């Protein structure tokens, strides 16, 4: 009798477990893989959050020497630049973050500086055009700018460039010159320190309209240009393979990009001007610390009015940066929240 009761209990228990299993199968949720595979990529706005307003210091003591044509900083203290006068060009050096400058050498007044880049405190390159025939020349220094030697002439595609190209050496041997020509971007590369150059790539651009770009390496870069669908909207693009631009997102429609710089793969900065119809335009600054996924937006005071026609933004580190236009040189030591005018 006892055995019969035990068998009945066992049967009831088995039936209960089977029912529970059936119920669990009915209410189980879809796997995460199924949900992810149904998500479609869409054009999203760049994630921008409001940040604190920017402070500027625009009262300076008169100084005799400051760069006016080109600058390059290798760290937060050591920088190099070119200053022009009515007689000649002077190559300058700073050891205090741009507060003071020392003339190291003179350059012929028959050349027009295009860009300068330094890999370390002694090794640098100066890209110029001959004023008489627009032929490009590349000069090399191995003593920190005291002496220069022409190592290359007639670089392909630079004869009639009106705007400043991107120019940088990533080590003592590998260098890159990039410029936009219509709907293509031309990349000139060197593997021997600048002695020889080859037009290695013609990269298709999203739009033939001009944009702002920078490169972190020979294959990774950032580009800001008009959207394919609406030229009034600026789009941020990212390249990681040296060949194709991938859309990252739309910038606010009322902002016009003027310069972009990345200190490393995470920390980036964009200088923008408002697209308002008023005569006095205001300036904005975007910062990212996660590789462009999110940005904080910061407003300059109305007294900050750089010359938009010629702006160079450079951040060798995540905190130290410089802004040069045709008239003034500015410096920040906190990632762009405070700027100090270095020219009178």
CATH of domain 47-343: 2.120.10.30
Lowest mean pLDDT across 33-42, 79-88, 186-195, 317-326: 33-42
Contacts 24+ apart (CB under 8 A), 145-153: 145/80, 145/91, 145/93, 145/104, 145/105, 146/104, 146/105, 147/105, 148/91, 148/105, 148/107, 151/193, 151/194, 151/195, 152/194, 152/195, 152/196, 152/197
Domain boundary assignment for the chain = 47-343
Kindly indicate the confidence band of residue 192, based on its pLDDT and cuts at 50, 70 and 90: very high
pLDDT number for residue 287 = 97
Among 260, 265, 238, 262, which Cα is nearest to 249's? Answer: 238
Length of the chain: 344
pLDDT at position 193 over 60? yes
pLDDT number for residue 173 = 95
pLDDT number for residue 10 = 42
Among 311, 262, 257, which Cα is nearest to 284's? Answer: 257
């Amino acid at each position: 009798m006892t055995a019969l009761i035990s068998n009945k209990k066992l049967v009831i228990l088995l039936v209960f477990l089977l029912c529970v299993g059936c119920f669990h199968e009915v209410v189980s949720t879809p796997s995460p893989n199924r949900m992810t595979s149904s998500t479609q990529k869409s054009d999203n706005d760049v994630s921008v959050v409001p940040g604190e307003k920017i402070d500027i210091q625009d009262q300076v003591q008169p100084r005799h020497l400051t760069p006016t044509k080109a600058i390059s900083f290798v760290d937060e203290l050591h920088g190099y630049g070119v200053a022009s006068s009515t007689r000649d060009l002077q190559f300058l050096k700073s050891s205090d973050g741009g507060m003071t400058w020392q003339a190291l050498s003179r350059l012929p007044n028959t050349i027009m500086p295009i860009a300068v880049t330094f890999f370390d405190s002694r090794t640098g390159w100066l890209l110029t055009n001959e004023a008489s025939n627009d032929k490009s020349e590349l000069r090399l220094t191995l003593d920190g700018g005291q002496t220069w030697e022409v190592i290359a002439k007639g670089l392909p595609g630079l004869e009639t460039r009106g705007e400043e190209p991107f120019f940088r050496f990533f080590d003592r041997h590998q260098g890159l010159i990039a410029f936009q020509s219509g709907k293509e971007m031309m990349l000139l590369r060197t593997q021997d320190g600048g002695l020889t150059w080859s037009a290695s790539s013609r990269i298709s651009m999203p739009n033939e309209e001009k944009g702002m770009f920078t490169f972190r390496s020979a294959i990774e870069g950032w580009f800001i240009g008009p959207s394919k669908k609406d030229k009034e909207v600026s789009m941020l693009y990212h390249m990681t393979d040296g060949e194709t631009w991938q859309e990252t997102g739309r910038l606010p429609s009322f902002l016009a990009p003027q310069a972009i710089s990345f200190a490393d793969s995470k920390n980036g900065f964009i200088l923008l001007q408002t697209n308002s119809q008023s005569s006095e335009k205001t300036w904005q600054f975007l910062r990212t610390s996660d590789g462009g996924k999110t940005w904080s937006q910061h407003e300059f005071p109305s007294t900050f009015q750089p010359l938009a026609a010629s702006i160079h933004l450079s951040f060798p580190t995540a905190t130290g940066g410089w802004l040069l236009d045709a008239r003034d040189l500015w410096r920040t030591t906190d990632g762009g929240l405070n700027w100090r005018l270095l020219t009178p």
